[in-house]
A and B are shown apart, each in its own frame.
Chain A
């Protein structure tokens, strides 16, 4: 019997037993689709977190105030106001920190911005001119505020896209007056949309000179919340980190890093911490997917075992008219392969479409179908279909023709 012949027989059997074939394929389909969707969700979450951390800026280090030690009592992280504008000044690119490209302190607070009759509650961020570009904001219209405006505490503001939309709608905001918590400012620029990174809408902010934020809106504490430092390249981040550390220790008159009253976080630190969380999530989803794959496989096996009686008689008849064992094995192998491959292909398609649909519905996380998961699911499911589909029939083919015919 030629392979073409075996394929024709297998296809006829599959067609004639549509329900049996359909259920077998369904088992494989569910397994494959479940793996693809769940891994895509886990993967999507991981990418989302990574993106939102990348969204902080490019090659950024963020200096946080450390915990305060007061009379032997150590307080928590950020409890101390240890960072000053002077510290930021000291960190500006120079011979001591050749791997630093730009620096900006940051103060921020929640404010209400008003333009005409509209108002919008948003985040006010005060900083230096490089802050926007360090954090990957680009201008859609107008300009960024200048060093001169920082030095002169000019009341100028650059609006995030969300704020611009809510306060001005279709009107061009540049040149318009707004008031921030009652203080009049002039809009000099608008940022291009950056999109939502995770749960934070990064377009919902107003950026003003550090001095203006301190003098007119948030008040002077003499301290800043964070200092953003941008390294010259991804490779120089570790050097920048140690340079920044050394300068700040010197600034704070501390002799050893153990006494540091500040903490430097790099994007890599944050990413690592987040990755370990999303990794756990992916593992959990993967376990659920593995269970569905198993259940699908058991479904396939169930159907095959139920139909094996019927197959035994068929085997007996075929053997009686001259089929060799190898002819029957070829037939069953092709049958199981066709069912598994069709089921697997349908599963990949279903999984892909379901991932897309989920992305549309859930919105927050965009499931990312990974090639690896597709391959894994396909290989495992086709394997399951082959083994569970082929094994019972192959065992029946080993019966003597007489025994096979006698089975009822």
Chain B
């Protein structure tokens, strides 16, 4: 399959006062189109920095980041904005919906910044329908449950049909029932061919992915092509019918 995302010796250092902190210390990784990858690591491992760079919210200090073969490491601000707008869908732990806008208006945002006018509301409604919250279109985020808010956020991330859906601890603020729903939604999207990068510290959540990349102290420690054991079990449970036949 075509390589969609590639990190080459990516280093990111932050300056906190007079101290330089190396958040990423030379990360290499690669993801193909259509993969469902989980990035795992404890807090402070550099996960968040990785997400920010993948999402083009931040740029590497050294190294290269290629998105579908294009080096996006040194792009100017407006080009990065365009990439965030069209090629990457971001889902956050804290939903990050605009509190003064309805669900529909939130989903419309990426379309507005993409300069789309024709059929905008229809497309936003379609996205809401796809995640099952079309009936909440005119509600403000404060009037929605956590699970519903995260669905709206996913609809917003998907509305411009990005290459990658990047979900940063998407279930971190949700109860187990809502978490299950959101994860099933992600699996469904993967099944439909969407590339998904899921960042989490929770092995159960990571288990839904087809591949796990482990990160610790700013370095990738394991980026194996197959899912590890404990996650494989979860995978099997999720596709129980299939294993029953075998």
B105 at the interface (CB under 8 A from A): yes
Given contacts A13-B100, A320-B90, A323-B81, contact A402 B113 (CB under 8 A): no
Within A78-121, the residues touching B (CB, 8 Å) are: none
Q: What mask results when residues 48 to 90 of chain A are scored 1 for a CB within 8 Å of chain B, else 0?
A: 0000000000000000000000000000000000000000000
A401 at the interface (CB under 8 A from B): yes
B58 at the interface (CB under 8 A from A): yes
For B98, the chain A residues whose CB sits under 8 A away are: 314, 317-318
A327 at the interface (CB under 8 A from B): yes
In the complex, which of the residues A1, A314, A322, A325 has the most CB atoms of chain B within 10 Å of its own CB atom? A322
For B86, the chain A residues whose CB sits under 8 A away are: 322
CA distance A322 to B110 in the complex (A): 6
When the two chains form their complex, are residues A12 and B101 in contact, meaning their CB atoms are under 8 A apart? yes
Given contacts A13-B100, A405-B96, contact A318 B109 (CB under 8 A): yes
Contact of A401 among B57, B82, B100, B113 (CB under 8 A): B57
Contact of B55 among A1, A13, A320, A323 (CB under 8 A): A320
When the two chains form their complex, are residues B85 and A321 in contact, meaning their CB atoms are under 8 A apart? yes
CA distance A314 to B110 in the complex (A): 14
Interface residues on A, range: 20 to 34
Chain B: interface residue total (CB-CB under 8 A): 28
When the two chains form their complex, are residues B113 and A321 in contact, meaning their CB atoms are under 8 A apart? yes
Given contacts A321-B85, A325-B77, A402-B52, contact A1 B100 (CB under 8 A): no
List the B residue with the shortest CB-CB distance to A316: B96
Contact of B114 among A320, A322, A405 (CB under 8 A): A322
List the A residue with the shortest CB-CB distance to B49: A402
When the two chains form their complex, are residues B100 and A16 in contact, meaning their CB atoms are under 8 A apart? yes
Q: What mask results when residues 377 to 408 of chain A are scored 1 for a CB within 8 Å of chain B, else 0?
A: 00000000000000000000000111001000
B156 at the interface (CB under 8 A from A): yes
For A12, the chain B residues whose CB sits under 8 A away are: 100-101, 105
When the two chains form their complex, are residues B81 and A402 in contact, meaning their CB atoms are under 8 A apart? no
In the complex, which of the residues B82, B90, B117 has the most CB atoms of chain A within 10 Å of its own CB atom? B90
For A320, the chain B residues whose CB sits under 8 A away are: 55, 57, 84, 90, 96
B115 at the interface (CB under 8 A from A): yes
B112 at the interface (CB under 8 A from A): yes
Q: What mask results when residues 297 to 340 of chain A are scored 1 for a CB within 8 Å of chain B, else 0?
A: 00000000000000001101111111111110000000000000
When the two chains form their complex, are residues A322 and B81 in contact, meaning their CB atoms are under 8 A apart? yes
List the A residue with the shortest CB-CB distance to B79: A324
CA distance A327 to B114 in the complex (A): 11
When the two chains form their complex, are residues B115 and A1 in contact, meaning their CB atoms are under 8 A apart? yes
Q: How far is the CB of B62 from chain A (nearest CB, A)?
A: 18
Q: How far is the CB of A313 from chain B (nearest CB, A)?
A: 8
Given contacts A1-B112, A327-B113, contact A322 B57 (CB under 8 A): no
When the two chains form their complex, are residues A323 and B58 in contact, meaning their CB atoms are under 8 A apart? no
CA distance A325 to B160 in the complex (A): 20
For B115, the chain A residues whose CB sits under 8 A away are: 1-2
In the complex, which of the residues B78, B92, B96 has the most CB atoms of chain A within 10 Å of its own CB atom? B96
A17 at the interface (CB under 8 A from B): yes
CA distance A30 to B227 in the complex (A): 67
Within B73-117, the residues touching A (CB, 8 Å) are: 77-78, 81-82, 84-86, 90, 92, 96-98, 100-101, 105, 109-110, 112-115, 117
Q: What mask results when residues 1 to 40 of chain A are scored 1 for a CB within 8 Å of chain B, else 0?
A: 1100100010011001100000000000000000000000
Q: How far is the CB of A330 from chain B (nearest CB, A)?
A: 11
List the B residue with the shortest CB-CB distance to A17: B100
Within A147-170, the residues touching B (CB, 8 Å) are: none
For A2, the chain B residues whose CB sits under 8 A away are: 115, 117
When the two chains form their complex, are residues A322 and B85 in contact, meaning their CB atoms are under 8 A apart? yes
CA distance A12 to B102 in the complex (A): 11
CA distance A314 to B113 in the complex (A): 14
Q: How far is the CB of A10 from chain B (nearest CB, A)?
A: 12
Given contacts A13-B100, A314-B98, A405-B96, contact A321 B109 (CB under 8 A): yes
CA distance A320 to B97 in the complex (A): 11
For B52, the chain A residues whose CB sits under 8 A away are: 402
When the two chains form their complex, are residues A324 and B57 in contact, meaning their CB atoms are under 8 A apart? no
Interchain Cβ contacts under 8 Å between A and B, 16 examples: A16-B100, A314-B98, A321-B85, A321-B90, A321-B156, A322-B84, A322-B113, A323-B85, A324-B81, A325-B77, A325-B78, A400-B57, A400-B58, A401-B57, A405-B57, A405-B92
Chain A residues within CB distance 8 Å of chain B: 1-2, 5, 9, 12-13, 16-17, 313-314, 316-327, 400-402, 405
Give me the 9 closest cross-chain CB pairs, A-B, nearest first. A322-B85, A16-B100, A322-B113, A402-B57, A324-B81, A321-B110, A401-B57, A402-B58, A322-B84
Chain B residues within CB distance 8 Å of chain A: 52, 55, 57-58, 77-78, 81-82, 84-86, 90, 92, 96-98, 100-101, 105, 109-110, 112-115, 117, 156, 160
